[in-house]
Amino acid sequence: MPRGGGWRPGARWARDDACTRGAVEAEIAALPAHRQPSIRELGRRSEAAEHPFRRMPDGDACVSEQSPVVKAQGRRPLVLVDVVGRRQEVAAACPAALALGIGVGMAATHARVLVSDLDVRPADREADAHLLERLALRAVRSWTPVASVSGHDGLWLDLTGVAHLFGDEERLCRRIVAFCRRAGFTARVAVADTPGAAHAIARYGTEPISLVPPVQTAEALLPLPLAALRVPNDALTAARRFGLERIGDLISMPRGPLARRLGLVTVERLDEALGRTPEPIVPVVDEAPPAVERRLLEPIGAAEQIGQVMADLLDELVELLRARGLGARALQFACDRVDGAEQKVSIGTSRPNRDPKHLLRLLSMRIERLDPGLGLEKFALTATHTEPLGATSLATILAGDAQAVDVPKLVDTLAGRAGRDALFRIGSVESHVPERAVARAAPLARPDGWPAWRRPARLLARPELLAQVVALLPDQPPRRFEWRGQIYRVANADGPERIHGEWWRSKNEVWGVRDYFCLEDVSGQRFWVFRRGDGVDAATGNLSWWLHGVFG
């Protein structure tokens, strides 16, 4: 007890059930993220209550303060929003968002009100469909020859005669789930007699992996809600009005009135799910890339011989590409060595191409990267990336016009020697700040020009500070300056050209100003210099002088 008799009822040191700070913190940490009390609720006095609209932090202006959820998980709950009709709806939500009470189909504004620091992003259905298609291709390549996309969120795999290759059905399912987890997806798998039943049980079943034994499909389907049958929305509404909620309610009903009330589709879906009518899967087709192969009786190792094999293979591949109407964007040349090691070289082209001469020139630049060792005996040439390439019209050439210059061919040739990053064009960017007005573009781009303000031929990588500058404020050019240890006396000058900082980029540029001058010294050298600041307001810059470029 402290001295001076400072006892008061409820004092912390006087409590019997002394709960330590650590115990309380552990208890709080055990709560789900959205139920953890804020610092304010805990009664800690260190925190001053802030007016919610007074301060806006940098970056995202919508986020006022990080909630306990964010602190616990390190990221904000994420929902995807899609436009349905005239309103924005939540199309998908992450588990954290679902735990906070957000559901799929809820209005986006409603979700925003429920959770203040929600990470809302637009849904991209096309990208989803593309990803699903790639997953289906992956399934065709590694699991089963018959697979297809089902709906906008699932895959159908036909496991007939396949499961034993992976052990049994359950092990195959576990493998699929593990693969999806590695790829970043949460998967639910159901195996049933019919595609319809598998579709329903995977989405509305209780287990992440559910295996329905053969001929027990009907029993498994009975407790599931009607929505599992892929019936249209108006049929669902009608069924709800009749008090039909589960599939089990439908099975016992007479089929004639059912079809009249809920539509023929409902009955068809029910029959498909129960296996009374067939529902074929249209599998995705995995097209093999065009490839040709050659095996030699005797191993070869000389560069000319390898070049000859390349030329022969290319001729065959080009015929293959022409028959399919394709042009190669990327080629891979793989050789097997006598000792079993594989050697690979690849080339890329900037436009789809099937000109054997051009492709051979690109490929033969790579011969020196092959290590033949004791000899190479098997060669394969694959067009790993192809694009459609039709015939081109020669009308203008026949009419006597000059042939257009083939820039992509030149780019390919040069990129083969120097690397793809070495070639570029310079395009314009909408910015008045000189160093930001230019940006590198792809070698085949057609960039636009710049406004006709006077600009130097060479720009220093970063402006260099001038010393001993004599200039009148606020807007006179320098009379003399010192740069790289040499003194220049100015004979003529143009300026100033005032360029303001881009306030939307950073705080430091909000008031920043550069006044650019074109100076000519007595010997005729022309420089581009600037002064930081407008010479009146100290916030615009510190009035230092910099050299930024040289005119010719």
Interacting residue with another protein among 132, 291, 433, 459 (CB under 8 A) = 459
- Tell the smallest beta-carbon distance from residue 332 to another protein (Å): 23
Interacting residue with another protein among 446, 507, 508, 542 (CB under 8 A) = 446
Q: Is residue 405 a contact residue for another protein (CB under 8 A)?
A: yes
Give DSSP secondary structure letters for 182-197. Answer: HHT----EEE-SSHHH
Q: Are 537 and 527 in contact (CB under 8 A)?
A: no
Complex with another protein: residue 132 or 423, whichever CB lies closer: 423
Rounded Cα distance between 537 and 539, Å, is 5
HSE, side-chain direction, 13 A CA sphere, residue 349: 28
Rounded Cα distance between 543 and 531, Å, is 6
Interacting residue with another protein among 195, 290, 327, 443 (CB under 8 A) = 443
Q: Is residue 447 a contact residue for another protein (CB under 8 A)?
A: yes
Complex with another protein: residue 199 or 526, whichever CB lies closer: 526
- Tell the smallest beta-carbon distance from residue 305 to another protein (Å): 24
Complex with another protein: residue 531 or 548, whichever CB lies closer: 548
Rounded Cα distance between 43 and 38, Å, is 9
Among candidate residues 233, 224, 232, 230, the one with its CA nearest the CA of residue 201: 224
C-alpha dihedral sign at 157, 161, 166, 170: positive
Complex with another protein: residue 214 or 400, whichever CB lies closer: 400
Q: Is residue 442 a contact residue for another protein (CB under 8 A)?
A: no
Site pattern 469..488 for another protein (x: CB under 8 A): ----------x---------
Rounded Cα distance between 197 and 274, Å, is 7
Q: Is residue 410 a contact residue for another protein (CB under 8 A)?
A: yes
- The site that binds another protein (CB under 8 A) totals a number of residues, namely 57
Stretch of residues binding another protein (CB under 8 A), selected from 48-56, 181-189, 234-242, 448-456: 448-456
Burial class, 96, CB count within 10 angstroms (exposed 0-12 / middle 13-18 / buried 19+): buried
Instruction: Considering only residues 494 through 533, tell me which ones interact with another protein, judged by CB under 8 A.
Output: 494, 518-520, 522-527
- Tell the smallest beta-carbon distance from residue 98 to another protein (Å): 51
Report which DSSP code applies to 441: E
Q: Is residue 437 a contact residue for another protein (CB under 8 A)?
A: yes
Interacting residue with another protein among 99, 177, 360, 414 (CB under 8 A) = 414
Alpha-helical (H) ranges within 87-227 are 95-99, 108-114, 125-142, 169-183, 195-204, 217-221
Interacting residue with another protein among 418, 467, 536, 539 (CB under 8 A) = 418
Rounded Cα distance between 521 and 530, Å, is 15
Q: Which residues bind another protein (CB under 8 A)?
A: 402-407, 409-411, 413-414, 417-418, 422-428, 434, 437-438, 443, 446-450, 452-461, 479, 491-494, 518-520, 522-527, 549-552
